[in-house]
Amino acid sequence: MLASGTAGIGLDILPFVDLSKLGGIILKSVTLEPRAGNPAPRIWEISCGVLNAVGLENPGVDALVRDVIPRLGSCGCAVIASIAGQTEDEYARCAEKLTECSAILAAIEINVSCPNVKRGGIEFGSDPDAVSSVVRKVRAATGLPLFTKLSAAVSDIVSVASAALESGSSGLALINTLPALAIDRVRRKPRLGNVTGGLSGPAIKPVAMRCVWECFKATGAPIIGGGGVMNASDAVEFMIAGASAVSVGTAIMRDARIPLRIVEELPRMIAETGATSVSEIVGTLRLDSTDS
Amino acid sequence: MIYGKSAGEYTAGVLVKNEETGKNIHLLAFRIFPSSKNHAQRRVDENSKISNPVSRKHAHGAPPLRPYPGQFYHFLCSENDSFERILRRPLSALDACGWETECTVNAENRSGNDFLLYFLVEIAGVGTQWLCSLEEGSRVDMLGPLGRGYPFVSFLKQAGCGFHTGEVSREPFLQEEISRNRDQKGGCASEGALKNVLLVAGGMGIVPLYFAALELERMGRNYTMIAGFRSKDKLFHGLNSLKGDVRIYTDDGTSGTKGMASDGLSAVDLSAYSVVFTCGPTAMMKAAHFMADAFGVPCYISLTSRMGCGIGLCGCCVVKGAKKNLRVCSEGPVFIASDFFK
């Protein structure tokens, strides 16, 4: 799947990626009202990773429902919309409006983990009670399957995950970018206009993998796993940890052909584990002491 | 010929020239190949239900897309399977040859039907450092041409977009281009509007404007180039071979007139020009915009910004415009000055 954010709002990617070959696309998070996002610069590269602070710039849920989602009806893969907000009601109203597109949408992702907005976002995602309350309101507003996207920057991700699932989330999306800071030494200034940003890319893969494994072990819920997936081996590792779908985000910025390459190489990568299908390897991390 | 906007193609460029032309500045030339060699993109084009008509038409052994002045290529600046330097680096094209136009920069390097792309790169960090240390013969992954360049309507006209017949194009970006050019006072809706062009470059801003100057020469148009540099060692020697009116300024007076490009700007009669193209420091572009505006002459600027995907997806290169946010990679990098300056 294409992770929320780097796949854009859904249409600009069409010349570059054959969506019909992929599992799905998670659209960039939308809010009830349009948002202008954060000041430039919004991106900074580090070793094996990227910091970004776009700040949920988006045209608003109405524009998505009116102009974008109807044009994705024939794209040939699952279309998942992502929602964010500053209040529980905003989340619920977004979900309600998106339900108009339930013929096209496969699910809604609830983004309670954006590190780059002043209100909402990660503020919700770090508190199990707040997550529970948001998910419950969204659950009441729509019949679509819900995936709650969580942050790893919490003391106990399993308790947040459990709260989301008990409140009606059908599954989990793990993980969002990690709050981070990069500094220009000479100028003694932050590299990003928003001061802090979200770290993504291979640098966060082990963190994401640990989150997927812990949440799968504790809940057994369906998980869209991602964080630094660059190739098919990464994808299979996430599946072993417990992800039944894998999302690709930062890699799109490097090369939009990577998702298709992963799909093509997946059978070989799975075969090397001795399994024959994705369902045979999901959540099969072996903890026994034998070598083979 | 079809000239794309943002739907560039992935291509492997072979470095055929790497020459240090100034202090930390390299001239790089890449040989690129017909699109038929570009298997991954072709597969996308053939199979995609909603693929882009621009790239699809080019998929079968046709020439690679040709950039026009102001467009850029997004370069992978590490080995393909490396996780270092994950992001690409955007570089503005300096010249293109092998299509219907002859090479101007170092034509002697070209043989047969090669398509050559030229870039001038200032080493600014680890990515450009890596690129400029490559040896001739190295293969580099490039994505382009990307973005919207200066309003060389002739390029769009050749795409059969009905500029002169009033036909509405199926390409949304061309519709924008048409209306944008029509809306502009004294606009560039026809080639005639490029009859006398003022080019104002500062530092590495010379790159797209050198390309523009070459293109104007090929079209037989007049132009004046005002080019400012910090010092002689930052000067691009290719300026010597331009046939137009070229006025060089250096901050320290080591070459040309001592002063900045904005000093050169004060010395010209703007009413003599039909349009201004500028690229360089924001203050210089702003000065060009306000002076041009006072004479009712349209002014186009080129912006740069820290970039992510380069194809309009991630929202990382967005800058605040006069009225709305501007995606530098896909809505620009060239903008009408009043879209950016208030």
pLDDT over 90 (residue B5): no
For A24, list phi and psi in degrees, rounded to 5.
180, 170
Band the pLDDT of B27: cuts 50, 70, 90: very high
Q: How far is B315 from chain A (nearest CA, A)?
A: 6
Give Cα separations from A66 to A60, A62, A110, A141 (angstroms): 10, 6, 20, 19
A49 touches chain B (CB under 8 A): yes
Chain A residues with CB-CB distance to B314 below 8 A: 5-6, 8, 43, 52, 54, 252-253
Q: How far apart are CA A110 and CA A147, in angstroms?
A: 6
Q: How far is B172 from chain A (nearest CA, A)?
A: 12
Chain A residues with CB-CB distance to B310 below 8 A: 253
Q: What is the mean pLDDT of chain B?
A: 80
Q: How far is A166 from chain B (nearest CA, A)?
A: 33
Q: Mean pLDDT, to the nearest integer, of A72-77?
A: 93
- Which residue bears the tokens 């993980």? A175
Between A22-26, A126-130, B111-115, B312-316, the lowest mean confidence (pLDDT) is in: B111-115
- In degrees to the nearest 10, what's the CA dihedral of A4, A7, A9, A10? -120
Q: Mean pLDDT, to the nearest integer, of A98-112?
A: 97
Q: How far apart are CA A238 and CA A246, in angstroms?
A: 7
- Position B81 scores a pLDDT of 83
pLDDT over 60 (residue B215): yes
pLDDT over 90 (residue B36): no
- Position A289 scores a pLDDT of 80
B10 touches chain A (CB under 8 A): yes
- Position A246 scores a pLDDT of 97
- Position B100 scores a pLDDT of 64
B307 touches chain A (CB under 8 A): yes
A134-181 confidence digits (pLDDT tens): 999 999 999 999 999 999 999 999 999 999 999 999 999 999 999 999
Bigger pLDDT: B247 or B151? B247
Which of A21, A54, A256 has its CB closest to that of B315?
A54
Structure-block tokens of residue A54: 């776009």
B83-116 confidence digits (pLDDT tens): 999 999 999 999 988 876 555 555 445 555 678 9
A6, A48, A52, A255: best to mutate for the B interface, most B CBs within 10 A: A255
Q: How far is B87 from chain A (nearest CA, A)?
A: 5
- Which residue bears the tokens 């190739």? A231
Structure-block tokens of residue B166: 């009033």
Q: Mean pLDDT, to the nearest integer, of B199-220?
A: 94
pLDDT over 70 (residue B245): yes
Buried b (16+ CB within 10 A) or exposed e, A250-281: bbbbbbbbbbbbbeeebeebbeeeebeebeeb
- Percent of chain B at pLDDT > 90 equals 57
Q: Report ipTM for this prediction.
A: 0.93
Say whether A101 is catalytic. no
- Percent of chain B at pLDDT > 70 equals 74
Q: Is B18 helix (H, G, I), strand (E, B) or coil?
A: strand
Hey, are the CB atoms on B86 and A40 less than 8 Å from each other? no
- Position B174 scores a pLDDT of 45
Q: What is the DSSP letter of A96?
A: H
Band the pLDDT of B340: cuts 50, 70, 90: very high
CB atoms within 10 A of CB B46: 12
pLDDT over 70 (residue B185): no
H/E stretch holding A161 reads helix A157-166
Which of A19, A41, A202 has its CB closest to that of B306?
A41
- Position B156 scores a pLDDT of 53
Predicted TM-score of the model (pTM): 0.89
CB atoms within 10 A of CB B137: 9
Band the pLDDT of B194: cuts 50, 70, 90: confident
- Position B294 scores a pLDDT of 94
